[in-house]
A and B are shown apart, each in its own frame.
Chain A
Amino acid sequence: MTREPDHNQTLIAAENGPVIEADDTGLVLRLSDRVIRDIARRIGLPAAAPDPVPAQPPSAAPERLDAALLGDIDAWDLQREGEWLRFLAHRPGPQGARRYRRHASGGGIIAETPGPVLGLLSLGAGRRMTTFGGAPDFPHHVMACHVPDEGEPDHLVHGWRNRGADTLLADALLALRHQAHRALPLIVALPVLLPPGPLPPTDHPSVAAAEDQLRRLAKLASALEKPARLLAVGIEIGHDQAPTDATQFHAEALGWLDLIAARIPSRDLGQPRFLMVADCGPWWAHDPERNRAAIEGQHRLFLRPGLHDVTPVAPSYMFAQDDLGQPTPEAMAERAMIEAAALDSLLRRQPWTCPLLCLAEREGRTVRAVFKADGPLVIDPADPFGAGPGAGFALARTTAGITGVEIAPDDPQSVLIYLDGPLEPKGGAEPRLDYAVGGPALGRGTAHPAACGALRDEWSLDRGGRTLRRWALPGSLVIR
Chain B
Amino acid sequence: MLTLPFSVPEAALTDRESRDLSRLTREVGGIWLRAADGQPEGWPAATDPDAIALPVAEAPVFAPHRTRAALRLTTGENRGFRLPDAVPDPSRWSAAILWAADEPALALLAVRPERGGNPLHLSDTEEGLVFRDDDGTASATLPRGQGPWRLTVLACADGRLTLAQDGRQASAQGLRVPPGAAHLLVGHRSLRRGMRKTLGAGRIAGVWLWPGLDILSDAEAAALRGALDGFRQWEV
Q: A16 touching B10 by the CB < 8 A rule?
A: yes
- Chain B 14-57 interface residues, beta-carbon cutoff 8 Å to A: 14-16, 18-19, 22, 34-37, 46
Q: B1 touching A13 by the CB < 8 A rule?
A: yes
| Closest beta carbon of chain A to B123's beta carbon, Å | 25
Q: B3 touching A52 by the CB < 8 A rule?
A: no
Q: B229 touching A3 by the CB < 8 A rule?
A: no
Question: Does B7 reach chain A (CB closer than 8 Å)?
Answer: yes
Question: Does B136 reach chain A (CB closer than 8 Å)?
Answer: no
| B contact residues, total (Cβ < 8 Å) | 41
User: What residues of chain A lie closer than 8 Å to B64, measured between beta carbons?
Assistant: 5
What is the 8 Å Cβ interface bit string for chain A, positions 53-75, against chain B (1 contact, 0 not)? 11110000000000000000000
Q: B225 touching A15 by the CB < 8 A rule?
A: no
A55 CA to B219 CA, complexed, in Å: 7
Question: Does A7 reach chain B (CB closer than 8 Å)?
Answer: yes
Question: Does B5 reach chain A (CB closer than 8 Å)?
Answer: yes
A11 CA to B205 CA, complexed, in Å: 24
A195 CA to B6 CA, complexed, in Å: 40
* Nearest A-chain residue to B148, judged by Cβ: A7
Q: A32 touching B2 by the CB < 8 A rule?
A: no
* Nearest A-chain residue to B35, judged by Cβ: A4
Question: Does A180 reach chain B (CB closer than 8 Å)?
Answer: no
Q: A52 touching B229 by the CB < 8 A rule?
A: yes
From known contacts A4-B36, A30-B11, infer whether A13 and B3 are also in contact, taking CB-CB under 8 Å. yes
| Closest beta carbon of chain B to A416's beta carbon, Å | 44
Question: Does A384 reach chain B (CB closer than 8 Å)?
Answer: no
Q: A14 touching B11 by the CB < 8 A rule?
A: no
User: What residues of chain B lie closer than 8 Å to A52, measured between beta carbons?
Assistant: 222-223, 225-227, 229-230
- Chain A 402-433 interface residues, beta-carbon cutoff 8 Å to B: none
A465 CA to B18 CA, complexed, in Å: 58
Q: B1 touching A53 by the CB < 8 A rule?
A: no
User: What residues of chain A lie closer than 8 Å to B14, measured between beta carbons?
Assistant: 8, 10, 17-21, 28-30
A54 CA to B227 CA, complexed, in Å: 12
* Nearest A-chain residue to B224, judged by Cβ: A52
User: What residues of chain B lie closer than 8 Å to A29, measured between beta carbons?
Assistant: 12, 14
Q: B15 touching A3 by the CB < 8 A rule?
A: yes
In the complex, which of the residues B1, B5, B11 contacts A267, with contact meaning CB atoms closer than 8 Å? B11
User: What residues of chain A lie closer than 8 Å to B1, measured between beta carbons?
Assistant: 10-13
A15 CA to B8 CA, complexed, in Å: 8
Q: B67 touching A53 by the CB < 8 A rule?
A: no
Q: B7 touching A53 by the CB < 8 A rule?
A: no
A4 CA to B234 CA, complexed, in Å: 13
| Closest beta carbon of chain A to B2's beta carbon, Å | 5
In the complex, which of the residues A4, A15, A55, A56 contacts B206, with contact meaning CB atoms closer than 8 Å? A4
Task: Point out which of A2, A12, A30, A55 has the most chain B C-beta atoms below 10 A from its C-beta.
Answer: A30
Question: Does A1 reach chain B (CB closer than 8 Å)?
Answer: yes
Q: How many pairs, one residue from A and one from B, have CB atoms within 8 Å of each other in the complex? A: 100
Question: Does A6 reach chain B (CB closer than 8 Å)?
Answer: yes
Question: Does B103 reach chain A (CB closer than 8 Å)?
Answer: no
User: What residues of chain B lie closer than 8 Å to A5, measured between beta carbons?
Assistant: 36, 64, 67-69
A284 CA to B37 CA, complexed, in Å: 72
* Nearest A-chain residue to B205, judged by Cβ: A4
Q: A14 touching B22 by the CB < 8 A rule?
A: no
Q: B6 touching A14 by the CB < 8 A rule?
A: yes
Question: Does B158 reach chain A (CB closer than 8 Å)?
Answer: no
In the complex, which of the residues A14, A32, A56 contacts B7, with contact meaning CB atoms closer than 8 Å? A14
A314 CA to B46 CA, complexed, in Å: 54
Q: A6 touching B19 by the CB < 8 A rule?
A: no
A354 CA to B2 CA, complexed, in Å: 40
Q: A53 touching B229 by the CB < 8 A rule?
A: yes
A56 CA to B36 CA, complexed, in Å: 34
A14 CA to B35 CA, complexed, in Å: 25
* Nearest B-chain residue to A20, judged by Cβ: B14
From known contacts A1-B22, A21-B14, A32-B12, infer whether A16 and B229 are also in contact, taking CB-CB under 8 Å. no
User: What residues of chain A lie closer than 8 Å to B217, measured between beta carbons?
Assistant: 56
| Closest beta carbon of chain B to A54's beta carbon, Å | 8
From known contacts A14-B6, A16-B8, A32-B12, infer whether A3 and B67 are also in contact, taking CB-CB under 8 Å. no
In the complex, which of the residues B13, B37, B234 contacts A19, with contact meaning CB atoms closer than 8 Å? B13
User: What residues of chain A lie closer than 8 Å to B35, measured between beta carbons?
Assistant: 4
From known contacts A6-B235, A11-B2, infer whether A16 and B69 are also in contact, taking CB-CB under 8 Å. no
A20 CA to B3 CA, complexed, in Å: 11
User: What residues of chain B lie closer than 8 Å to A54, measured between beta carbons?
Assistant: 222
| Closest beta carbon of chain A to B157's beta carbon, Å | 15
User: What residues of chain A lie closer than 8 Å to B16, measured between beta carbons?
Assistant: 30
Task: Point out which of A7, A8, A28, A52 has the most chain B C-beta atoms below 10 A from its C-beta.
Answer: A52
From known contacts A14-B13, A28-B14, infer whether A4 and B2 are also in contact, taking CB-CB under 8 Å. no
From known contacts A52-B226, A52-B229, infer whether A15 and B4 are also in contact, taking CB-CB under 8 Å. yes
User: What residues of chain B lie closer than 8 Å to A14, measured between beta carbons?
Assistant: 3-4, 6-8, 12-13
Q: Which 10 A-B pairs have the closest CB atoms?
A: A52-B226, A17-B13, A7-B67, A16-B7, A14-B8, A14-B4, A4-B36, A15-B7, A12-B2, A18-B14
Which B positions have Cβ atoms within 8 angstroms of A? 1-8, 10-16, 18-19, 22, 34-37, 46, 64, 66-69, 205-206, 217, 219, 222-223, 225-227, 229-230, 234-235
Given A13-B2, A18-B14, 12 additional A-B pairs, CB 8 A? A2-B37, A4-B235, A5-B68, A6-B68, A10-B14, A11-B2, A13-B1, A14-B12, A15-B3, A17-B10, A18-B15, A20-B14
Which A positions have Cβ atoms within 8 angstroms of B? 1-8, 10-21, 28-30, 32, 51-56, 267
